[in-house]
Structure 1
Amino acid sequence: MEQERKTPNLRDAFMHLSWQLLEVTQNAAIAAARKAGKGDKNLADQAAVDAMRNTLDHMTGFCSNIKIGEGERDDAPMLFIGERLGRGQISIDIAVDPLENTNATADLKPGAVCVLAASAQGGLIEASDTYMDKLCVGKEAAPYIDILQPPEENIYRIAKALGREDLSQLTVTILDRPRHEELIRRVRATGARVNLIADGDLMPCIFTCFKGAGVHAVMGIGAAPEGVISAAAIKLLGGGMQAVFKPKNEADRERLLRMGIKLDHVYTPDMLAPGENLIFCATAVTPILTTTKAVLEGVSFFPGGAKTNSLVISNGFMNFVPTTHVLDGDTFVRQGSEFRLW
């Protein structure tokens, strides 16, 4: 964060950077979408990684340091922790998941998204591709949660903060994993509804900050890289998050300790993403759904082009960005394609 103090116009630079990073996730989503539905999650993941790496390496004015990569957990393609891309004068840290929810992409199902978070140098925590116990909520409930308390207690606190006397009006999103069987049972026993998801808790964590999205909380153990990315967006949106790192094994535990991670310590967004200037970008590959609505439509192709839908968040700024991309000008003109809203 030293660079934030040294660069007086960094906030202005980050406004321009937001749109360059949007292009990174857009290109990755288009590349992944071309490989979607082919039954091979690594094929789409590799396409997203390659597109993201190429776009980052050609950005003007900025040099990107991959602070949080993704892929070690399942031997998938990845951008490596410590990898540097681009040759600009301003160094930025990047936390990236080139393709969140690769299984959905392989089967052309909802929930796949290309995401990243960025900060000035030193503004994102460094951690391995491990696991993290997470509790995420919106702004109203943020001051009252405590991940060290039983899930029932947090449910009651969230309900009180939201003014919900009927706990069946609460929806808690949890990854559908054997490790969560007890958590699911206890949350349901309170009367709250549980939305079980097969993969991809990153976007649901962020959706806790959006009223009307039907995601009042996210609980349970998920991936740490996605947790850091979520933390950046949640911090920008004023929501609440508490997290505890959960190493996979002894080697992972030792690596986390070498990185300065305090095991059993409760991390907040300010600890996971301490930077003053942050950017979050997400572009959907397939539709991003909640229990009540489609928040982002997936990539659609037409002769000579593609349509993407993205979410961009930075300091004091949030926007849903639909974009029509002309990928082949000759085909676009020859076949009479149009700039479209859908």
Structure 2
Amino acid sequence: MTSTPTAAYQVTDRNLALELVRVTEAAAVAASHWTGRGQKNEADGAAVEAMRLAFDTVAIDGTVVIGEGEMDEAPMLFIGEKVGAGGPAMDIAVDPLEGTNLCAKNMPNALTVVALAEAGNFLHAPDVYMDKIVVGPDLPEGVVDLDASIAANLRELARAKRKDISELTLCALERERHEELIAKTREAGARVMLLSDGDVAAAIAACLPDGEVDIYAGSGGAPEGVLAAAAVRCVRGQMQARLLFEDDEQLRRAREMNPGKDPSRKLGLFDMAKGDVLFSASGVTTGPLLRGIRRDGRRAVTHSIVMRSKSGTVRFVEAHHDFTTKTWPAY
């Protein structure tokens, strides 16, 4: 029986989703060697190198469009870096270790994260701050708005969820810049969950049906924002964002990456991640989303989440690794 091009694409797409899990698993195991050792740069570097090696086995012609800086900042996976063993042209968004401090201090929620889309489908964003707001699926379109007050957004969200505002929980990073957001949220009657780091996991948590978070809001890194958008696409949530610039150089860089577009415009979900999107994350330390790495001599157990926007499928993957037979190093 001869397969059709559509069927062949679907098989390739599914295979790539599983290949991405191997990439995030490799980075998570490598970073886990440094868990609790107080050396965040070493943990990040180990995750980067393991991720690079793992990408060498993935059948794509990949370009990193969301990474950890520019080429002269290597050994990070830099914007513009080429990865993959050859194949279809793909945009790649990576955070080899989201929560480097979390890993260094052995605190919850350190993750390794990768998202994949066909070339041209991810927002090309410099490493600046981004204002974000995220809610989950099965809600009226536009139920929250980045330009509305947090009190108004909580009212609309409570109405849509048929809850009292006092039953809602907003998640945000614990930062001085969020003091007003936190105060206004509590003044409106909602609860607040504060994180020291890790806003990709927080954005996903706002979209999971059994999660403890109803809305994620506040500013964080733009690279993490694009990764969050990829995940939110896969679970049919809603997200709006806007790049924030501290100086003219950052603004120039954003214009250069997206010619002809207003860099300060409000971004919808499909402005950040359009087309068919694949997303994978693996836990380094245990958190609300994923369990962390368990190591035992020459073996390790990983826990990952992998998602596809095309099908809306969310898989949680537990893998048992034997380093006597693995093709990537056991750090």
2:322 is equivalent to residue 323 of structure 1: no
1:163 aligns with 2:198: no
User: Structure 1 length as normaliser, TM-score?
Assistant: 0.88
- Residue correspondence of structure 1 range 283-302 to structure 2 within 5 A: 283-289=282-288, 295-302=289-296
Distance 1:133 1:78 in 2: 24
What is the total number of aligned residue pairs between the two structures? Answer: 315
Query: Quick one: distance in 2 between partners of 1:242 and 1:297?
Result: 28
The answer for unaligned runs of 5 or more in structure 2 is 327-331
Q: Which amino acid aligns with 1:171?
A: T
Contact persistence 1:133–1:220 (CA under 8 A):
yes
1:84 to 64, 82, 85: 82
In the TM superposition, what whole-angstrom CA distance separates every residue of 1:207-257 from its partner, at most 9, and x where no partner exists? Answer: 111112111000100111111011111111110000011123221111001
Question: 1:284–1:308: 8 Å Cα contact kept in structure 2?
Answer: yes
Q: Which position in structure 1 is the counterpart of 2:269?
A: 269
Deviation string 1:15-43 (CA, Å, 9 cap, x unpaired) is: 11111111000000000001111101111
Instruction: Give me the whole-angstrom Cα distance separating, in 2, the residues matched to 1:107 and 1:195.
Output: 20
Structure 1: runs of 5+ lacking an equivalent: 1-5, 290-294, 331-342
8 A contact 2:55–2:85 mirrored in 1: no
Alpha-carbon distance, 1:285 to partner: 0.1
State the superposition RMSD in angstroms.
Answer: 1.8
- State the partner residue of 2:229: 231
Aligned pair partner of 1:202 in 200, 203, 211 = 200
1:85-124 equivalence runs, <5 A: 85-124=83-122
Distance 1:20 1:50 in 2: 17
What's the CA shift for 1:266?
1.3
- Once the two structures are superposed, residues 285-339 of structure 1 have per-residue CA deviations (whole angstroms, 9 ceiling, x without a partner) of 00122xxxxx311000013210000000012121000110011259xxxxxxxxx
After the TM superposition, which segments of 4 or more aligned residues of structure 1 sit over 4 Å from their partners? none
CA contact 2:26–2:54 (8 Å) conserved in 1: yes
Q: How many Å separate the matches in 2 of 1:49 and 1:228? A: 19
- The aligned counterpart of 1:340 is none
Which residue number corresponds to residue 336 of structure 1? none
Determine helix, strand or coil for the equivalent of 1:309.
strand
Q: SS of the counterpart of 1:288?
A: coil
- The percentage of counterpart residues that share the same residue type is 38
TM-score with structure 2 setting the length: 0.91
Residue 15 of structure 2 corresponds to 16
Contact 1:132 1:221 in 2 (8 A): yes
**Counterpart amino acid of residue 270 in structure 2:** D
1:312 aligned residue: 306
Contact 1:140/1:162 (<8 A) preserved: no
After the TM superposition, which residues 17-96 of structure 1 pair with which residues of structure 2 at under 5 Å, given as runs?
Answer: 17-59=16-58, 61-71=59-69, 78-96=76-94
Letter in 1 for 2:273: A
Q: Select 1:303's aligned residue among 282, 297, 320.
A: 297
Paired letter, 2:200 = L
Hey, what does 2:130 align to over in structure 1?
A: 132
How far the C-alpha of 1:141 sits from its partner, in A, is: 3.6
1:150 aligns with 2:149: yes
Counterpart Cα distance in 1 of 2:49 and 2:262 = 33
Structure 1 counterpart of 2:271, one-letter code: M
| Alignment-derived partner of residue 178 in structure 2 | 180
- Residue matched to 1:280: 279
